[in-house]
Chains A and B, each alone.
Chain A
Amino acid sequence: DTGVSQNPRHKITKRGQNVTFRCDPISEHNRLYWYRQTLGQGPEFLTYFQNEAQLEKSRLLSDRFSAERPKGSFSTLEIQRTEQGDSAMYLCASSLAEGTGELFFGEGSRLTVL
């Protein structure tokens, strides 16, 4: 399968714990995006990378959130000191920088904070 891969698919954690999600984009795509989706809402943009450079961050990305893409390939999204309001689906997408605006999404990582 050469699509966007996200792990883990589901994470249950207790409030205050740290969690990390991983995204493996389509190999030739140099742009990688993170979105968050809560129940009944559309995906909300969090941040994106072009190669290893993080080019934009949403105000939704508080200080507890950090994202990396160290070698311009896979990316990680870490949430520190999780809160119940962080419970959501975290979506990763990738694209070509010179592309048509089409993003290829993974199936998402669902976070449940108890």
Chain B
Amino acid sequence: GNSVTQMEGPVTLSEEAFLTINCTYTATGYPSLFWYVQYPGEGLQLLLKATKADDKGSNKGFEATYRKETTSFHLEKGSVQVSDSAVYFCALSDRDSTLTFGKGTMLLVSP
């Protein structure tokens, strides 16, 4: 079946540091890939997505590239801010938009 594996957290960074959160997946067919973010006290919200191989999703300074050859969708940001502190979930959708999520990675950014 489908599965998503992402690096365990928490990831602790200083403001303006470079961020990478690794995500790999196992799926049949050609899934769409997503990063969702959950800020403290809020619901999950879509951060970015990519629907086919080599697509790059981007939003709010975050980027991720759909790599079919390595089955990966790593999240990156060049300079994190304190307001980026949240839990980040990698997810895939193969049909009917039923998402399979990873366990989540907590990011803590200090001033």
Residues of A within 8 A of B (CB): 3-4, 31, 33, 35, 40-45, 48, 55-56, 91, 93, 95, 99-108
Contact = CB atoms under 8 A, between A and B. Distances in A.
Contacts of B41: 107
B25 interface: no
A92 B104 CA distance: 18
7 contacts: A3-B43, A45-B99, A95-B97, A101-B34, A101-B93, A103-B97, A107-B42
Given A101-B93, A102-B49, A108-B43, A42 B101 contact: yes
B43 A103 contact: no
A35 B91 CA distance: 13
Contacts of B34: 101-102
A44 to B, nearest CB: 8
B42 A42 contact: no
Nearest to A44: B101
Chain B interface size, as a band, is 20 to 34
A40 B10 CA distance: 11
Contacts of A45: 98-100
A101 B97 contact: yes
A56 B96 contact: yes
A41 B42 contact: no
Interface in B57-96: 89, 91, 93, 96
A103 B102 contact: no
B32 interface: yes
The 6 nearest A-B residue pairs measured at CB: A42-B101, A105-B44, A105-B43, A107-B43, A101-B93, A101-B97
A104 B45 CA distance: 7
A72 to B, nearest CB: 17
Contacts of A31: 97
A41 B97 contact: no
Given A43-B44, A102-B46, A48 B104 contact: no
B56 interface: no
Interface in B8-66: 32, 34, 36, 41-46, 49, 51
